[in-house]
C-alpha cells in the first residue's frame, strides 16, 4: 500500500509539474505583448504638432497665465483636459514635456494591453480563459497603437480608460465603486468619453435597482459636473473650440465620415476586428456585453457624424481597438468551445487568427515606416519656424500660421491659428461646402487674420485642400503688405513679413 501511495503521489506531482507551464504561458505571452508595444513605440518615437497645443496650454498654466493658448484669449483649443493637466505636471516637475508625454503614452499602451487581457477574460468561456491573453497580443501588434502611443497625444490614454471602464462594467456592473471615477476621467480625456458615460450609466439603470443606480451616477456626476460648470464659466461654450472648428453638420461631412469608417473596416486588421466582434454575439456572449456593443455602435455613429479625422492610421478608432480585440478573441473562443473540447484544435484556430492578423497588418507597418521620416521632418520644420519667430519678432508681435503647436510652445509669441483650432472667431465662422475638404482645415478667414496685423504669416504654396493658405494668396492686402523673407523657405513653406509702414487702406 505504501508503494502504491508513493506511486500515486509521484504521478500527481508529475501531473502538477506538467500543468505548470500551461498556467504560465498566458503570462509569458502577455509579457511578450508588453515588450512588443514598448519596442514599437520607442522605435517610432515622434511628436505630432497638435500635441504642442496641449503643451502650450500647460505651459501658460504653470507660468500663471491661465489655461490659455495666447495670453488674454480664453479659448478652449485643446480636446483633452486630463492630458493638459498631465503635461502641466511634467512641466511643474521640470521635465522635458516631449519625452514626458512619450513616456505617458507608452505607459498607457502597456496598460491598455493588460486591460484588454482582463476584458477578454471576462467575455471568454471559463474553460478557454487562458486564450484571452491573445487579445492583448492583437492590441500590442496593431500598428496604430504603437504609432500613436509616443505621438504626444492623448489617443492611447483614452483607449486605456475606455477599455478599463468596459472591463469593470462587464465584471462588476453597478457594484463597482471606482468605475464612475474612471468614467469621469475618460470624459475629461476625450469628448467621446461622455458617450461612454451615457451608455454605461444607462446600462446601470437598466440592470440595477434604482437606489444603486442613482448612487453610481452620482459618483460620476460629483466629479464631472463641477468640471463642466468650470469650463462653461471659463470658456463660455459647452463644447471645446476644436469641435466648432471641425464639425459642420452637412451631408458632405457625414459622407466623409462614412469613407473614414469604410477605410478602417476594410483595412486588413479592421476587417478581422469587426468580423470577430460580430461573431461574439452569435456564439452566445449574452447580455453581459450589451453595453459594450451599444457603445461600439454609438461610437462608430459618432465618428461618422463628425466627419472622421485628418490624421493617419485610424486615430479615432484606436479607442475601440482593444474592445474589438477582446470581443474577437472571446467570439473565437466561444465558437471553438461549442464545436470541440480539443485544446489542440483551439490552439490551431488561435494560431491561424494570429497569422492572418500579422499578414493583414503588414501594409500598415510599411506605411508607418514610409511616413515616419516625413513626420519627424515636419516636427523639425515647425521647431525651426518657432526659432525664427522668437529671433525675429518682439514679444508684443504675433505670427499667423496653420501649424501652431510647436511654434507657440517654443517661441512664446502670440500665434494666430489660421484654421481656428485655437481661435474662437474662425472656429465659429460658417464655411461653404463644409465636409468636402480636409477634416479640421475647412474654416478660415484671411481678412480677419490680416486685420490682426501679424508680423509674419507662414504659409506654403497654393493647395486646394488647405483653404486657409490658398485664400490668403488671393487677398490684395496680403500681396501688398507682405513680402517673402529671403532665405527662409523650407519644404514649400514661406515666411512673409509685414512691410514696415504699410497701411491697410488702399
Q: Are 303 and 263 in contact (CB under 8 A)?
A: no
Does one domain contain both 433 and 378? yes
**What are phi and psi for residue 496, nearest 5 degrees?**
-110, 115
**Alpha carbon of 293 to those of 104, 205, 216, 278, 425: distances in Å?**
29, 17, 21, 9, 38
Residues ≥6 apart with Cβ < 8 Å to 30: 113, 114, 117, 133, 136
Cell numbers given for 203? 446600462
Which of 360, 395, 424 corresponds to the end of one domain? 360
> Same structural domain for residues 422 and 491?
yes
Beta-carbon count within 10 A of 228 CB:
14
Query: Using 50, 70 and 90 to split pLDDT, how confident is the model at 434?
Result: confident
Mean pLDDT calculated for residue range 339-355: 67
Among residues 304, 327, 360, which one ends one of the domains? Answer: 360
How would residue 20 be classed by pLDDT, with cut points 50, 70 and 90? very low
Q: Are residues 397 and 355 in the same domain?
A: no
pLDDT value of position 490: 55
| Mean pLDDT, the chain, whole residue set | 84
Among residues 334, 348, 351, the alpha carbon closest in space to that of 286 is found at: 334
* Containing structural domain, residue 467: 372-498
Q: Does a structural domain hold residue 4?
A: no
Q: Based on the fold, state whether residues 354 and 422 are members of the same structural domain.
A: no
Q: Do 339 and 426 have their domain in common?
A: no
Dihedral angle sign, alpha carbons of residues 195, 196, 198, 202 = positive
Residue with cell 470577430: 276
Q: pLDDT tens for residues 283-296?
A: 666 666 888 999 99
Q: Find the range with the poorest average confidence among 99-113, 357-371, 411-425.
A: 357-371
Residue bearing the bigger pLDDT, 373 or 439: 373
Q: What is the pLDDT of residue 487?
A: 57
Q: Is the pLDDT of residue 196 over 70?
A: yes
Whether 304 is in a domain gets the answer: yes
> Cα 28 to chain center, whole Å?
28
pLDDT score of 118: 92
**Comparison of pLDDT for 361 and 453, the residue scoring more:** 453
Query: What Rg value do the Cα atoms of the chain yield, rounded?
Result: 26
Lowest-confidence segment of 6-15, 49-58, 284-293, 466-475 by average pLDDT: 6-15
pLDDT: is 360 or 313 the higher one?
Answer: 313
**Mean pLDDT, residues 409-414:** 90
- The per-residue pLDDT for 335 is 64
Collapsing DSSP to helix, strand or coil, 493 comes out as: strand
pLDDT confidence of residue 290: 85
HEC string of 281-343 equals HHCCCCHHHHHHHHHHHHHHHHHHHCCCCCCCCCHHHHHCHHHHHHHHHHHHHHHHHHHCCCH
- CA-nearest of 414, 416, 412, 413 to 427 is 416
Q: Is the pLDDT of residue 6 over 60?
A: no
410 and 345, same structural domain?
no
Mean pLDDT of 23-41: 86
The C-alpha cell that represents 407 in the structure block: 511654434
pLDDT at position 66 is 93
More confident residue, 485 or 499: 499
Looking at the fold, whether 387 and 477 belong to one and the same domain comes out as: yes
Reported confidence tier of residue 302, pLDDT bands at 50, 70, 90: very high
Q: What is the mean pLDDT of residues 159-183?
A: 91
Tell me how many domains the chain contains: 2
Residue 227 near residue 81 (C-beta atoms within 8 A): yes
Same domain? 381 vs 342: no
* Per-residue confidence (pLDDT) for residue 289, from 0 to 100: 82
pLDDT tens column, 48-66: 889 999 999 999 999 999 9
307 and 379 assigned to the same domain: no
Record the cell numbers describing residue 80, joined without a space.
483633452
Q: What pLDDT does residue 390 have? A: 84
In this prediction, residues 193-208 reach a mean pLDDT of 92
- Binned at pLDDT 50, 70 and 90, residue 336 comes out as low
110 and 254 share a domain?
yes
For the record, the C-alpha cell of 64 comes out as 500663471
| Percent of residues, the chain, with pLDDT higher than 90 | 43
Tell whether 258 is covered by a domain. Answer: yes
Q: Write the pLDDT tens digit of every residue in 201-251.
A: 999 998 888 899 999 999 999 999 999 999 999 999 999 999 998 888 888
Residue 180 in domain: no
- 430 and 451 housed in the same domain: yes
For residues 298 and 389, membership in a common domain is answered with: no
| 225 falls within a domain | no
The strands making up 398-401's β-sheet, listed across from edge to edge, are: 414-417, 398-401, 456-459, 494-498, 482-484
pLDDT, one tens digit per residue, over 77-123 is 999 999 999 999 999 999 999 999 999 999 999 999 999 999 988 88
pLDDT, greater one: 255 or 337? 255
Q: Is the pLDDT of residue 505 over 60?
A: no
- Stronger pLDDT, 16 or 288, i.e. the higher one: 288
Does position 450 have pLDDT exceeding 60, yes or no? Answer: yes
β 398-401/482-484 pair status: unpaired
pLDDT at 353: 74
Is 194 domain-assigned? no
Confidence (pLDDT) at 8: 43
Decide: pTM greater than 0.75.
Answer: yes
The domain boundary residue, chosen from 321, 340, 360: 360
- Is 183 part of a structural domain of the chain? no
> Is 211 contained in some domain?
no
Residue 165 above 90 pLDDT? Answer: yes
Cβ-Cβ contacts under 8 Å for 79 (sequence gap 6 or more): 154, 190, 191, 240, 242
- Give yes or no for residue 200 having a pLDDT over 60: yes
Structure letter (DSSP) for residue 174 = G
Q: Residue 19: what pLDDT?
A: 42
pLDDT (mean) for 249-264: 90
Amino acid at each position: 500500500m505504501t508503494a502504491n501511495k508513493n506511486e500515486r503521489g509521484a504521478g500527481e506531482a508529475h501531473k502538477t509539474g506538467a500543468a505548470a507551464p500551461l498556467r504560465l504561458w498566458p503570462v509569458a505571452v502577455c509579457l511578450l505583448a508588453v515588450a512588443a508595444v514598448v519596442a514599437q513605440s520607442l522605435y517610432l518615437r515622434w511628436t505630432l504638432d497638435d500635441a504642442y497645443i496641449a503643451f502650450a496650454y500647460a505651459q501658460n498654466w504653470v507660468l500663471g497665465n491661465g489655461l490659455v493658448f495666447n495670453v488674454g484669449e480664453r479659448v478652449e483649443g485643446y480636446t483633452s483636459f486630463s492630458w493638459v493637466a498631465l503635461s502641466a505636471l511634467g512641466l511643474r516637475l521640470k521635465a522635458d514635456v516631449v519625452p514626458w508625454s512619450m513616456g505617458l503614452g507608452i505607459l498607457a499602451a502597456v496598460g491598455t494591453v493588460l486591460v484588454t487581457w482582463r476584458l477578454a477574460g471576462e467575455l471568454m468561456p471559463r474553460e478557454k480563459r487562458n486564450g484571452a491573453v491573445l487579445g492583448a497580443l492583437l492590441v500590442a501588434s496593431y500598428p496604430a497603437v504603437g504609432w500613436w502611443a509616443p505621438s504626444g497625444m492623448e489617443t492611447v490614454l483614452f483607449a486605456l480608460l475606455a477599455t478599463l471602464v468596459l472591463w469593470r462594467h462587464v465584471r462588476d456592473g453597478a457594484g463597482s465603486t471606482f468605475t464612475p471615477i474612471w468614467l469621469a476621467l475618460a470624459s475629461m480625456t476625450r469628448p467621446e468619453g461622455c458617450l461612454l458615460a451615457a451608455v454605461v450609466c444607462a446600462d446601470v439603470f437598466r440592470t440595477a435597482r434604482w437606489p444603486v443606480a442613482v448612487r453610481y451616477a452620482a459618483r460620476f456626476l460629483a466629479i464631472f459636473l463641477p468640471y463642466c460648470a468650470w469650463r462653461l464659466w471659463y470658456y463660455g461654450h459647452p463644447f471645446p473650440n476644436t469641435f466648432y472648428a471641425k464639425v459642420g453638420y452637412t451631408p458632405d461631412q457625414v459622407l466623409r465620415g462614412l469613407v473614414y469608417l469604410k477605410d478602417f473596416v476594410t483595412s486588413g486588421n479592421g476587417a478581422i476586428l469587426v468580423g470577430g466582434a460580430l461573431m461574439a454575439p452569435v456564439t452566445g456572449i449574452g447580455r453581459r456585453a450589451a453595453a459594450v456593443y451599444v457603445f461600439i455602435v454609438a461610437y462608430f455613429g459618432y465618428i461618422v457624424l463628425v466627419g472622421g479625422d485628418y490624421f493617419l492610421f485610424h486615430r479615432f478608432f484606436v479607442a475601440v481597438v482593444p474592445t474589438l480585440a477582446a470581443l474577437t478573441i472571446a467570439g473565437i473562443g466561444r465558437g471553438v468551445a461549442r464545436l470541440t473540447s480539443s485544446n489542440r484544435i483551439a490552439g490551431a484556430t488561435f494560431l491561424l487568427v494570429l497569422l492572418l492578423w500579422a499578414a493583414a497588418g503588414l501594409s500598415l507597418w510599411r506605411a508607418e515606416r514610409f511616413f515616419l521620416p516625413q513626420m519627424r521632418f515636419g516636427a523639425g520644420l515647425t521647431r525651426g519656424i518657432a526659432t525664427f519667430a522668437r529671433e525675429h519678432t518682439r514679444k508684443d508681435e504675433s505670427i499667423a500660421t496653420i501649424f501652431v503647436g510647436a511654434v507657440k510652445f517654443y517661441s512664446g509669441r502670440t500665434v494666430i491659428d489660421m484654421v481656428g483650432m485655437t481661435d474662437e472667431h474662425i472656429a465659429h465662422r460658417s464655411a461653404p461646402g463644409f465636409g468636402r475638404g480636409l477634416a479640421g482645415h475647412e474654416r478660415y478667414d484671411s481678412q480677419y487674420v490680416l486685420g490682426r496685423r501679424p508680423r509674419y504669416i507662414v504659409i506654403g504654396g497654393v493647395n486646394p485642400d488647405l483653404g486657409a493658405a490658398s485664400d490668403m494668396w488671393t487677398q490684395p492686402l496680403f500681396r501688398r503688405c507682405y513680402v517673402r523673407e529671403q532665405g527662409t523657405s523650407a519644404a514649400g513653406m514661406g515666411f512673409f513679413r509685414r512691410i514696415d509702414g504699410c497701411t491697410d487702406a488702399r
